[in-house]
Amino acid sequence: MKIVALIDVHPLTQAHKRGLSMRISSGGALFDLPISKEQATLLLSKIPQDPPPAPIPPSDEEMSLFAQFATDGGIAAGYQADEDDEYEYEDDDL
């Protein structure tokens, strides 16, 4: 079993059902277990306060794909949409 989330429930229609739960993952299934404020405080105190890891820089392949997208989309050419630009919409789904 692994605790994957701490949830503060705020039901829209049944205010008396408000409460805290911890979401547990076990064997590929998820279930919520109601807990008290004291238990939630204890759980939160056990979470390490390490800073989040730095993002991984994009690979050369990702940069190449972005460059291709930017060129195809007109971004590299300095294209900016004007208010006068007209767009065609298909009405088939309406």
Containing structural domain, residue 25: 2-45
As for how many domains the chain has, the answer is 1
Q: By percentage, how much of the chain surpasses pLDDT 90? A: 14
Whether 78 maps to a domain, the answer reads: no
> Rounded to two decimals, what is the model's pTM?
0.44
Give strand pairing partners of 29: 26
The 10s digit of each residue's pLDDT in 14-43 is 777 778 899 999 888 998 889 998 998 898
Whether 39 maps to a domain, the answer reads: yes
Whether 72 maps to a domain, the answer reads: no
User: Is the Cα dihedral 45, 46, 50, 54 positive or negative?
Assistant: negative
**What gap in Å lies between CA 86 and CA 32, rounded to an integer?**
50
Tokens of 72: 């195809």
**What gap in Å lies between CA 35 and CA 33, rounded to an integer?**
6
Confidence of residue 66 (pLDDT cuts 50, 70, 90): confident
Compute the 3-state secondary structure of the chain and give helix, strand, coil in percent, each to the nearest 5. Answer: 25, 25, 50
Whether 28 maps to a domain, the answer reads: yes
Whether 75 maps to a domain, the answer reads: no
Comparing 93 with 18, the larger pLDDT belongs to 18
